[in-house]
Structure 1
Amino acid sequence: MTLTIDEHSLKNGVLTLVVTLVEVIQEALEGQAVRRLEGGELTDEEQERLGQALLDLDDALESIKADHGLTASVADLRRGLDDVVDDVVDRLVNPSRWADAQGGETPRGDA
């Protein structure tokens, strides 16, 4: 049995995954930056450098997506990840609904 791999699809798939993960990390960094800004932890110079670094990262990601035709595939993967996260959060926040879907059994640790 031979495995046939489409090199172009593989490269685009891996690049889509990498860009998507970097976008997720970027969002976390932006959240941390906002907390630091609101907490008054940064000097004016640090605020400027941080803002510029985040803008540069955003520009680089947009350029990579445009150059490789990944805008739609990254958006699709992000939606899929968002759906998974929403489902996990819903199960954590509403364990009784999850138990109802499982035939009345409660998840371990919630009994």
Structure 2
Amino acid sequence: MKPKTLSAPESSLAEFEGELEQLTQALPRRINADPEKVEQGLAKLVLTLIELLRKLLERQALRRMEGGSLTSEEIERMGVTFIRLEEKMVELRAHFGLAEDDLNLSLGPLGDLM
């Protein structure tokens, strides 16, 4: 009897299942519900999202600058905004005892978020 070959949709599904299995193995089996660490965990999540958005906005601003669609006043204003945001992020990371690397999430086989 000839071995069964997977069609394209079944093959893609099998690949997805394999990747999903790798990701779930990287996750902890239990949730740490320590009340002392809840605040830091929540702060880490929120600051990670803010950092991701900040990097995306900076890239978009650079593209717009290179494309010439911004005035010099807009460029100056965005530069000041990004500097202040970075200063605030440093302050918040220090307040919650987080290093810059703490905001980088590992996505398993997909690599790091940032």
Fold similarity call, TM over 0.5: yes
Give the length in aligned residue pairs: 81
Change in Cα spacing, 1:50 to 1:84, as seen in structure 2 (3 Å) is: farther
Change in Cα spacing, 1:85 to 1:59, as seen in structure 2 (3 Å) is: farther
Separation of aligned partners in 2, 1:19 and 1:44: 30
Flag the structure with more relative contact order, 1 or 2, with Cα contacts below 8 A and sequence separation at least 6.
2
SS at structure 2 position matched to 1:49 = helix
Structure 1 unpaired stretches of 5+: 88-111
Q: Shift in Å at residue 7 of structure 1?
A: 2.0
Change in Cα spacing, 1:24 to 1:56, as seen in structure 2 (3 Å) is: same
> Given residue 22 of structure 1, which amino acid in structure 2 is its aligned partner?
I
Structure 2 unpaired stretches of 5+: 1-31
Q: Pick from 68, 72, 78 the counterpart of residue 96 of structure 2.
A: 68
Separation of aligned partners in 2, 1:24 and 1:50: 17
TM, length-normalised to structure 2: 0.63
Separation of aligned partners in 2, 1:85 and 1:57: 28
Separation of aligned partners in 2, 1:76 and 1:67: 13
TM, length-normalised to structure 1: 0.64
> Given residue 43 of structure 1, which amino acid in structure 2 is its aligned partner?
T
1:7 and 2:32 are equivalent in the alignment: no
Q: Shift in Å at residue 60 of structure 1?
A: 0.4
Name segments (4+ residues, structure 1) moved above 4 Å. Answer: none
Higher relative helix content? 1
Q: Deviations over 1:53-87 (max 9, x none)?
A: 0111111001100122111xx51450514x55438
1:22 and 2:47 are equivalent in the alignment: no
1:86 and 2:93 are equivalent in the alignment: no
Separation of aligned partners in 2, 1:77 and 1:56: 18
Percent same amino acid at aligned positions?
Answer: 38
Separation of aligned partners in 2, 1:52 and 1:85: 34
Separation of aligned partners in 1, 2:93 and 2:33: 23
Contact 2:44 2:102 in 1 (8 A): no
> Given residue 54 of structure 2, which amino acid in structure 1 is its aligned partner?
Q
